[in-house]
Amino acid sequence: QVQLVESGGGLVQAGGSLRLSCATSGRTFRGYDMGWFRQAPGKEREFVATISGSGGSTSYADSVKGRFTISRDNAKTALYLQMNNLKPEDTAVYYCAADTGRLWGGTPSRNLGSYDYWGQGTQVTVSS
């Protein structure tokens, strides 16, 4: 069974930091684009950050650029999101996802529809 399992969410004060992890199992995602997306209450799921299969290309939403860093460990097929200087508007459920439509590609897609494997999400709550 293919699984993506997020962890590392929690409650943090504004200005604080969290590191999200996404562990994969059931198949390898080595070489495939992966990303983080989030969904706040009453809002649609949105792009946060993506990373290419090699890790050489990343892309960030304007709202998190300079504060969040996406990375991956291809040996462990794990994905990470370091979140610094968190703001109340970052409060959401964070999902990791994998795009198996392209292997060792270039710039990863920001489009949710490109991603065909999803985790169950981890809650991040930032208090003011």
Distance CA 8, CA 79 (A): 12
What pLDDT, in 10s, does the model give residues 29-78?
999 999 999 999 999 999 999 999 999 999 999 999 999 999 999 787 89
Burial class (CB in 10 A: 0-12, 13-18, 19+), 113: exposed
Strands 92-103 and 32-39: antiparallel
The span from the CA of 60 to the CA of 34, in Å, is 12
Main-chain phi, psi angles of 61, to 5 degrees: -65, 145
Specify the pLDDT at position 102: 85
Please give the average per-residue pLDDT across 104-109, as a whole number. 88
Q: What is the DSSP string of 95-127?
A: EEEEEEEEES-SSPP--GGG--EE---EEEEEE
Q: How far apart are CA 23 and CA 75, in angstroms?
A: 12
